[in-house]
Amino acid sequence: MGRSPCCEKVGLKKGPWTPEEDQKLLAYIEEHGHGSWRALPAKAGLQRCGKSCRLRWTNYLRPDIKRGKFTMQEEQTIIQLHALLGNRWSAIATHLPKRTDNEIKNYWNTHLKKRLAKMGIDPVTHKPKCDALGPGADGQSKSAANLSHMAQWESARLEAEARLVRESKLRTTTNQLSPPPPLEVLHALHGKIDLESPTSTLNYADTGNSNCTNANLVPFNSRMCYDDGEMKFFGKQQEDLLGFQIERNGPAFCGGDISWFAAGQTAGFTGLLLDSSEAQNSSDCCGESSNVQVGSCEEDGDGEENRNYWNSILNLVNSSPPL
């Protein structure tokens, strides 16, 4: 089935918007709302296609947009969420009030990605590039796989949350019922939803640890499992190693290995990014050696910093996006 073009291209203006065009678009939307974007340009007297108008509105003219330099807090949020979600800019944008996905994407591509690369950190995996080298890389690549696993799981969870919120809002408008908070909704639905990870055979634990202990990540015996707002680790060894529990108010979670986590492999990158002196240390330690222990780049098992880092990510993810 062929798709028709979004608009008739002939005679339509392209390129940068003029102040007059902005004014027309603003005035029209303020008075009538945008309605159908396709029909808007003609009604507003603009020689633009609807798509162009929508983009201009959502990325620039909308009154609830904050412009200007990103704060350190915002940078930190972006980096952390990107580590978790990848290039899902719209999902990231839901956690940065008043910032558009386009703006975040541009900022990532022009600033943060380069800064990571400069420090020897792969901006895709958020891991030191030296991970790919040498005999020590094996365990770290497994760790990367588990980070990816976690990220995918969290990603799926975020999508489910967003969907449930949307559905709840829909029900609210039709039934005049207050929607439950998204995480509570998820709790309520645990028994119904199979939230199996998209890439593994790990099962979502709805009643506790039992499923987690049956998980089948052969090379690793350390498991983490969220349940009733608490992250639990399976294996005394790992608990001893970590020496803390992650604070969390969220749905039960089970899956993923944590040895990478305990090693501090990803922890502290944000701090490095935000502190150039630390960045130097990082690139040094990831330079020539092929047997780098990534944990040594940071704080050699400083559980406190790991905890803070991951708590901040999990808190970000758990906070309800401003839908």
Give contact residues for DNA (rule: CB under 7 A).
1-4, 6, 13-17, 35-39, 48, 50-52, 54-56, 58-60, 67, 87-91, 101-103, 105-107, 109-111, 114
Shortest spacing between CB 1 and DNA, in angstroms: 4
Q: Write out the DSSP string of 59-108.
A: III-TT---SPPPHHHHHHHHHHHHHH-S-HHHHHTTSTT--HHHHHHHI
CB nearer DNA, residue 117 or residue 177? 117
CB nearer DNA, residue 48 or residue 149? 48
CB nearer DNA, residue 109 or residue 296? 109
Angle between helix 137-175 and 303-318 (nearest 10): 30
C-alpha angle 119-100-185 in degrees, rounded to nearest 5: 100
Shortest spacing between CB 320 and DNA, in angstroms: 16
Shortest spacing between CB 33 and DNA, in angstroms: 11
C-beta separation of 203 from 210 below 8 A: no
CB nearer DNA, residue 51 or residue 129? 51
**Buried b or exposed e, range 188-221, using 16+ CB within 10 angstroms:** eeeeeeebebeebebbbbbeeeebbeebebeebe
Shortest spacing between CB 108 and DNA, in angstroms: 9
Shortest spacing between CB 71 and DNA, in angstroms: 13
CB nearer DNA, residue 9 or residue 192? 9
CA distances from 239 to 139, 152, 221, 294, 316 (A): 19, 24, 12, 20, 24
